[in-house]
Each structure stands twice: as C-alpha cells, then as structure tokens.
Amino acid sequence: MPHATPRLDTHDGGSTNADVISVPEACRLLRVHRNTLYRLIRDESLPAFKMTRGGRWRFRESDLRDWLEDKQAARRP
C-alpha cells in the first residue's frame, strides 16, 4: 500500500508539503537541465530552500510558477 504524503496544516491558506518539490521535479517544471537549476540557485535567482542543514534543495511549486511567470512577463515587449 503506498504511503500518503503528509500535509502540514496551514492556518493562512498557504503552502503545504504537497507544494514542496524536489530538484528533478523543479527541472521538469521549468524545463531546464539540473546544472542550470543549480546555477540559478547559486546566483540566488531562484526561490529555493533546504529543509535541514546539509539537506537537499527543495522548492515550492507555487513559488517556481510565480518566478516563471515573472521571467516570461519581463521578456514581453
């Protein structure tokens, strides 16, 4: 039987654990190579965080979608 994804209760209607995605998921969402994703993180261009010290990078899907929309809007004349 598959494990259910735990969710955080959010009192302000904000993000849940279901909104937190991994590096491979972020690469698919943004359609970029893993190296590009890490460069964007290093340049502090992309909203990312680590849940634990020394942990893996994580992203809020909603933040990435907002970031992508902002980048696309900036390219429009």
50-73 pLDDT tens trace = 989 999 999 999 999 999 999 888
Q: Is 72 helix (H, G, I), strand (E, B) or coil?
A: helix
pTM: predicted TM-score of the whole model, two decimal places: 0.72
User: Other CB atoms closer than 10 Å to residue 58's CB: what's the count?
Assistant: 17
Domain range list for the chain: 19-75
Distance CA 47, CA 77 (A): 25
Largest CA distance in the chain: 51
Whether the pLDDT of residue 13 is over 50: the answer is no
Q: Which CATH number fits domain 19-75: 3.30.2010, 3.30.450, 1.10.1660, 1.10.10?
A: 1.10.1660
